[in-house]
Amino acid sequence: MEAIPPLAAIRVFEAVARHLSFTAAAAELGMTQAGVSYQIRLLEERLGGALFLRQPRGVALTEAGHRLAAPTRAAFGQLRTAWAQAPAQQTLSITTLPTFATNWLVQRLGLFQLDNPEVAVRLDSSERVVDFAREDFDVAIRYGDGNWPGTDAHHLFDITLTPMLSPSLLGKWGPLRSPADVVPLPWLDPMDPCWAEWLAAAGIDHPPCLPRPGLSLGNQVHEAKAAIAGAGVVLLTPRFFRAELASGALVQPFDIEARNGKAYWLVYPTARRNRPVIRRLRRFLTDQAAADN
């Protein structure tokens, strides 16, 4: 199947056919008359025949020109109608992890929306890593080391983890006078390797994975709810649960926080780095993360 001619040349042909004037077409398109003539010549060479008859007082369509002018004019008419009806509103689609979405991002996106009323923000929360080439998302906020090929990644904040538990569980097992007192408690997700990192940060020598049964709930939002219900002590990121700590629903017995070497990053394909709405979101999130620190 033969490819269609360059769209720029077809656009010039449509304008000349409509005006029957190279001069008027050039004025409409912001081109020189020589530029218009060049594009028409390209089409005529490709077609192997003339599209216009040059006359003393203008131009007229040849038979081939007549045959091509009507469908070309109709096609450009449809394009003009479609673009005229296209909404002025921009859409910004974001995908991120459930904990980050629920306990940090959602409460801030409203501020971004107020500052950018022309942008419709769509948020998806999921554990999966989205393929930008296959799915309709503009940006992602991911958890990891910042290395995703083909993307720009902007650091928001590092992950820190510390044990938290409910007041009822603390009353049953407490008081917790030293970090070592956490070891005998029922742990949520005891096979999480981050337990070993926190124990090491607290100066406690302990096997990295404990062979004991326990709940594994997949994300911090679910784990926090289980901890609030008294199901056990859990490793959580303090910045995500400030409201629960302030209300007393959760207790953080020690100030010791472990880092696992990972962070949250704003990520998008490198080709989109100069898109204005993404640049505004990047500036907004980095400012919010800095203020939250």
Distance between CA 75 and CA 69 in Å, rounded? 10
The pair of structure tokens assigned to 194 is: 């981050």
The pLDDT of residue 208: 53
The pair of structure tokens assigned to 19 is: 């005006």
The pair of structure tokens assigned to 38 is: 């060049």
The pLDDT of residue 76: 87
Given the DSSP bridges, would you call strands 90-96 and 139-144 parallel, antiparallel or unpaired?
Answer: parallel
Q: Are 244 and 224 in contact (CB under 8 A)?
A: yes
Distance between CA 144 and CA 141 in Å, rounded? 10
Same fold across 7-85 and 160-260:
no
Of the candidates 271, 272, 265, the one whose C-alpha atom is nearest the C-alpha of residue 286 is 265
Distance between CA 167 and CA 156 in Å, rounded? 31
Per-residue pLDDT of the chain (293 residues; tens, 9 = 90+): 457 888 889 999 999 999 999 999 999 888 899 999 999 999 999 888 899 998 887 789 999 999 999 999 889 888 887 776 655 558 899 999 999 999 999 999 999 999 998 888 999 998 888 888 888 899 999 999 999 988 999 999 999 999 999 999 999 987 899 999 999 898 988 888 888 889 999 898 765 555 556 677 778 999 999 999 999 999 999 999 999 999 999 999 999 999 888 999 999 998 888 888 999 999 999 999 999 88
CA distances from 120 to 91, 114, 115, 133, 265 (A): 5, 11, 12, 21, 22
Can you give the residue ranges of every domain in the chain?
7-85, 90-158+262-292, 160-260
CATH fold group of domain 90-158+262-292: D-Maltodextrin-Binding Protein; domain 2 (3.40.190)
Enter the CATH code of domain 160-260: 3.40.190.10
Taking the whole predicted model, whether its pTM rises above 0.75 is answered as no
The pLDDT of residue 88: 56
The pLDDT of residue 1: 43
DSSP class per residue in 1-50: -PPPPPHHHHHHHHHHHHHT-HHHHHHHHT--HHHHHHHHHHHHHHHTS-
The pLDDT of residue 134: 81
Q: Are 132 and 114 in contact (CB under 8 A)?
A: no
Q: Are 164 and 122 in contact (CB under 8 A)?
A: no
DSSP class per residue in 259-292: EEEEEEEEEEEGGGTT-HHHHHHHHHHHHHHHHH
The backbone region for 254, taken as left when phi is positive above 0, alpha when psi lies in -120 to 50, beta otherwise, is beta
Q: Are 281 and 272 in contact (CB under 8 A)?
A: no
Distance between CA 287 and CA 203 in Å, rounded? 34
The pair of structure tokens assigned to 276 is: 């204005």
The pLDDT of residue 229: 93
Distance between CA 93 and CA 278 in Å, rounded? 10
The pLDDT of residue 207: 59
Angle, CA 149 vertex, CA 240 and CA 127 arms, to 5°? 35
Residue 18, classed as helix, strand or coil, is helix
Enter the CATH code of domain 7-85: 1.10.10.10
